[in-house]
Each structure stands twice: as C-alpha cells, then as structure tokens.
Structure 1
Amino acid sequence: MPQPAPIKSPCVKICVVDPATGWCEGCFRTMAEIGSWMRYSAAERDQVLRLLPARRKTFAATSRAEAPE
C-alpha cells in the first residue's frame, strides 16, 4: 500500500510568537493556524502558505524599524 504524502509545513522549529503581530517568528503562522494545521485541507494549507511571504516581509520591515540604535 502506498504511503500518504507528507503534509507540507512551513515550520522551522523556531517557535516564538511575536506579541505585536501574533505570528510565529519562525514560520509566520498564527497560533490558530498552527493549531489547526493538521485538520486543514490541502487547499487551506496552501492558502496560508501563500500569505507567509508577505507576513515575513512585513515582520522584517517592522522589526528593523523598532530595533534600537
């Protein structure tokens, strides 16, 4: 019997939630998205995955602006 395909995940094992955005600083998902990931359909996971590059860019711009000099 063929093995099921592994579920795609953006997790990089850096699990720290930024209080300002509510996003994990490793994968940029919300706690709700992380908690529901295994129950999401492939389409739902793909939808979240499409959001992550913009979140990463927003986070990078925000964290640089807030960094002390």
Structure 2
Amino acid sequence: MICDATATSPCVGVCELDQASGFCRGCLRTLQEIARWGGLSLGERRMVKSSLAERRCAVAAAPALVSGA
C-alpha cells in the first residue's frame, strides 16, 4: 500500500486559534477545517492543504496576519 502524504493531518501540535485571523497559529487551518478534517475526502483534504500553502505565503509576507506566528 502506498501512503499518500496529502491525507495526513497538517497539525503540528501548536493548537491555538488566532482570534483576529481565525487561523490556528500552528497549522493555519480554520476551526471548521480542523473540525471537519476526519470526515473530508482525499480530494477535499488536498484542497485544504493547497489553501494552507497559500496562507503560509501570506503569513510570511505579513507576519501580523497571525499574531505570535
């Protein structure tokens, strides 16, 4: 069996929601994305992970987007 890395959770164990942005300071998911993760299809997980890559770029450009990150 081949393991598809896109199916793994992006959680990094820093679970704190930034009230201003609505993103987790660790993985940059929204509370809704975190809550729904277990029930998402592989395609939906890939879409969330794609969004996270874009959020990481935005946070790198404007670190205040997620305070404390």
AA aligned opposite 1:39: G
Identity %: 40
Runs of 4+ in 1 over 2 A off after TM superposition: 59-65
Whole-angstrom distance in 2 between the partners of 1:56 and 1:18: 14
Q: Residue in 1 aligned with 2:21?
A: 21
Larger radius of gyration: 1
> Gaps (5+ residues) in structure 2?
none
Equivalent pairs counted in the alignment come to 64
Higher relative contact order (CA 8 A, sep 6+): 2
Bigger helix share: 2
TM-score by length of 2: 0.75
Whole-angstrom distance in 2 between the partners of 1:64 and 1:33: 21
TM-score by length of 1: 0.75
